[in-house]
Amino acid sequence: MALSEFELIGRFFGAPAAAGAGAARPDVLLGIGDDGAILRPPVGHDLVAVTDTIIEGVHFPVGCPAASIGHRALAVNLSDVAAMGAVPAWALLSLTLPQADEAWLQAFASGFGRLAREHQVALAGGDTTGGALAVTVQVLGFVPAGGGLRRAGGAPGDWVFVSGTPGDAAAGLALEMGASGPGGLDEAWLRDRFLFPTPRVGLGRLLNGLASACIDVSDGLLGDLGKLAAASGCGAEVDLTRLPLSPALIRLLGAEKALERALAGGDDYELCFTVPDRRLVEAQELLAAQPAPTRCIGRLASGSDVKLQRAGSVMDFAHAGFDHFAR
Amino acid sequence: MALSEFELIGRFFGAPAAAGAGAARPDVLLGIGDDGAILRPPVGHDLVAVTDTIIEGVHFPVGCPAASIGHRALAVNLSDVAAMGAVPAWALLSLTLPQADEAWLQAFASGFGRLAREHQVALAGGDTTGGALAVTVQVLGFVPAGGGLRRAGGAPGDWVFVSGTPGDAAAGLALEMGASGPGGLDEAWLRDRFLFPTPRVGLGRLLNGLASACIDVSDGLLGDLGKLAAASGCGAEVDLTRLPLSPALIRLLGAEKALERALAGGDDYELCFTVPDRRLVEAQELLAAQPAPTRCIGRLASGSDVKLQRAGSVMDFAHAGFDHFAR
C-alpha cells in the first residue's frame, strides 16, 4: 500500500499498456509526466472544452463499482462534448482518493481506459490527491472552425428529438441504492444504464451542421429541454405518447411512473436536439442510418412554457431538473 | 441561501462585471452557460493543458481566507503553465462546495477573478457541485508550434537557476496553521507568500527558447530539481551558499533552518530552470531585465545524484519532496 503518487500514475495510467491508458495519438506532443501536456490542435478547427466532477455520495452511491466510476467520470464529459457536436481528442484526469487501493485503481483505470480508447481519446495529463473520493475530468475536442452545436439556435416549429430511453438510469440508480427490483435482464439493463451510460459521440458529430440546437440530458429530460428552449428564446410542446420508454422501465414501474421517470429522472447522458422543419426528412434519413436510437417527441413553440400533451389535454410542467444547491 | 447552481455561476462568475469573471477575450467564441466552451486557438501554436486540484485540509488549512483559495486555485495552474513556457489563455473552474455561502463566494471569486484578469485569462466554463470544499482548475495556454519547456532537456554543465525565495510559503503555511510568529512585516510577508503566491508567467515565457529544462517548484526545491535532473538524465550540484533566502525567513528561523525550509518546503510556485553554458551571459542579461528575481544556485552534473555543497564539503540529499500517498 506504499504506492506513491508517481508510481500510481505510471502503473495505472501512464504506461502505454496500463489499464487506464487512453488512445495513442500523434497530436499529443508531450503527455503524462511533465508540468503540463503539449497538444497540437488540427488546422481549421475550433476547440471545445468541457469539465465535470463526480463525487461519491452525490453523483454515485458509496460502494459503486470502481469500473463504473472510471467509465462515468469520462462518459459524462464525452456526453457534453457530444452535445457540442465535437469530436473528442484529449482528456485530463484529476483523481482525489482516500487511499491508493490497487485493486480499486485497477478497476477504475479499466473503466476509464476502455471508454477512452473506444473514442480515440488520449489521457494527456492529470493530478492525484488524497481526500474524499471525487473525480474531475476535462475533455478537449474539435469542431470545424465556426461550427459546433449550442443550446441556443432553435426556433418555434423546430422538431424536438431525444436519443435513447430516458428514465432508465434514474431507475438503475434507485436499484443500486437498494430499491427492490425485478432481477433478471430487466434489472441488469436498468443498472447498466446508470453504471455505464453511452455517450452519444457519433450522434453529436452527425448533428453538427444538421441540428439547430442541442443539449445533453443529464439533469432530467424536461428540465434540460427547458434549458434548450429558454436559451433559444422559445417554449416547447412535448407529446407524451411519443416518449421513448424502455420495456424494462415500463415493466418495473408501470407506464405512468415510467413516464414520470423519463421526464424528471437524471443521469441519462442522452442528447436532446432540435431540427428545422425544412431539414426534417433529411434528418430522419440520417438518424435512421446511425446506431444511436432517436425519437421525435415534439416541437419548439412560441412563448416560454414547456407544455406536455396527451390525448388532447395539455399541462404545463415546471420541473426544473436537478440542482445541486436548491434541493 | 437558496442560491441555485445557475444563479451562483451567473452572479459570481458569468456576468462580465462579476467578481470572478476573467478577462474578456475575442478567442472565446462561446463561454460559460452551455454544455462546453468553444475556443479558437491561434494559428501556428501548440496548446498547453494543465490541471491541479486544491482541497481543504490537504492543500490549505480549514478556515483559509476564501480570496486566497480562489487565488491559489488559479495560481498553482498558472505556475504549471509558466513552467511549460506558455502564455495562458483560458481556464475552466470546477468548484465543490459544502454550501453556497454568498460572502465566501464573493471573496473566492474576487481572488480568482483578479488573478485571471491580471494574466488575461478568460474563465470559459466549469462546474459546481455540493460536497467537501475542493477546487479543480484547468488552464489552457499556447506556445509557438514546436516550442515549450520540459523537465527533460538539461545536460551536464547547464546552470541551475531558481526564482523567488523558496521556503517562505512553507513558513507562511506554518504560521497560518498556528505556529507562533514574529508579527509585523516579516510575518505578513511569509503568510502572503503562502496565501497569494506569484505565478511566474512572464518569466516562463522568457525562458521558452532560452532554458534547456524547467519545472515549477511546488513540492520542495530539492525534490523538484531532482525530478528535472532525472528527466534530463543528469545529476545536479547545488551550492547552498547561493540559495536565495528571504530576510524574513532567516529572521524567523535562523540561517540553518531557513536553508532546510528552502530546500524541502512546498507551495513555493517558483520556477527552477537550467541554462546551457554557452547561453549563460545572454540569459543573465535577459533575467536581470525582467521583474521576477532569479538566482543561479548550481549546475547539472553527470550521474544521477543531487549533491549539496557548502564550504568545500559535499552531501547527498535524498529528500523526495511532497507525496500525497506515501507519507
- For residue B327, what pLDDT is reported? 32
Looking at CA atoms only, how far is residue A80 from chain B in angstroms?
Answer: 5
- For residue B314, what pLDDT is reported? 75
Rounded Cα gap, residues A313 and B187, in angstroms: 71
Rounded Cα gap, residues B120 and B23, in angstroms: 5
Q: Which residues of B touch A125 (CB under 8 A)?
A: 49-51
Could you tell me if B124 and B114 are in contact, meaning their C-beta atoms sit under 8 angstroms apart? no
Cα within 13 Å of Cα(B313), Cβ side: 2
**CATH superfamily label, A159-315:** PurM-like C-terminal domain (3.90.650.10)
Could you tell me if A78 and A163 are in contact, meaning their C-beta atoms sit under 8 angstroms apart? no
Looking at CA atoms only, how far is residue A291 from chain B in angstroms?
Answer: 23
Residue with cell 510575518: B187
In chain A, which ranges are continuous DSSP H helix?
Answer: 5-9, 66-83, 102-118, 168-176, 184-195, 201-207, 221-231, 247-253, 255-264, 280-288
Q: Assign residue A126 a region (left: φ > 0; alpha: ψ between -120 and 50; beta: otherwise).
A: left
Residue B1 has pLDDT above 50, yes or no: no
Q: Work out the angle at residue B80's Cα, subtended by the Cα atoms of residues A78 and B62, and round it to the nearest 5 degrees.
A: 85
Local confidence band at B315 (pLDDT 50, 70, 90 cut-offs): low
pTM for the whole structure: 0.93
- For residue A320, what pLDDT is reported? 41
| Residue A63 φ then ψ, to 5° | 90, 5
Q: Of the ranges A9-23, B39-53, B166-180, B206-220, which one carries the lowest mean pLDDT score?
A: A9-23
Residue numbers of chain A with a pLDDT score lower than 50 = 1, 318-327
- For residue B313, what pLDDT is reported? 76
- For residue A325, what pLDDT is reported? 43
Rounded Cα gap, residues A79 and A216, in angstroms: 6
Among B254, B196, B225, CA closest to B320: B225
Q: Which residues of A touch B125 (CB under 8 A)?
A: 49-51
Among A213, A205, A199, CA closest to A276: A213
Contacts of A161 (CB under 8 A, 6+ apart): A271, A272, A273, A274, A275, A283, A287, A294, A295, A296, A297
Hey, what's the torsion of the CAs at B74, B76, B78, B84, to 10 degrees? -160
**Do B231 and A34 count as a contact with CB atoms less than 8 A apart?**
yes
Q: Please tell me if residue B131 touches chain A, with a CB cutoff of 8 Å.
A: yes
What is the per-residue pLDDT across B84-100, written as a single tens digit (0 to 9) for each? 999 999 999 999 999 88
**Do A58 and B129 count as a contact with CB atoms less than 8 A apart?**
yes
Residue B233 has pLDDT above 80, yes or no: yes
What is the per-residue pLDDT across B97-116, written as a single tens digit (0 to 9) for each? 998 899 999 999 999 999 99
Residue B294 has pLDDT above 70, yes or no: yes
Task: Give the fold, CATH level 3, of B5-144.
Answer: 60s Ribosomal Protein L30; Chain: A; (3.30.1330)
Q: Please tell me if residue B62 touches chain A, with a CB cutoff of 8 Å.
A: no
Cell matching residue A162: 431525444
Contacts of B75 (CB under 8 A, 6+ apart): B115, B196, B197, B198, B199, B269
Residue B151 has pLDDT above 70, yes or no: yes
Q: Which residues of A touch B143 (CB under 8 A)?
A: 38
Local confidence band at B319 (pLDDT 50, 70, 90 cut-offs): very low
Rounded Cα gap, residues B140 and B77, in angstroms: 9
Rounded Cα gap, residues A76 and B239, in angstroms: 50
Q: In whole angstroms, how far apart are CA A319 and each of A260, A265, A291? A: 11, 11, 31
Q: In whole angstroms, how far apart are CA B38 and each of B47, B124, B292? A: 14, 8, 34
- For residue A317, what pLDDT is reported? 56
**Do A130 and B81 count as a contact with CB atoms less than 8 A apart?**
no
Domain residue ranges in chain B: 5-144, 159-315
- For residue B2, what pLDDT is reported? 55
Contacts of A184 (CB under 8 A, 6+ apart): none
Q: In whole angstroms, how far apart are CA B109 and each of A7, B2, B91, B139? A: 35, 19, 13, 16
Q: Which of B3, B84, B126 sits opposite A51 (nearest CB)?
A: B126
Across the A/B interface, how many CB contacts are shorter than 8 Å? 217
Which one-letter amino acid corresponds to residue A95? L
3-state helix, strand, coil in chain A (%, to 5): 35, 25, 40
Could you tell me if A94 and B136 are in contact, meaning their C-beta atoms sit under 8 angstroms apart? yes
* pLDDT average, residue stretch B55-78: 96
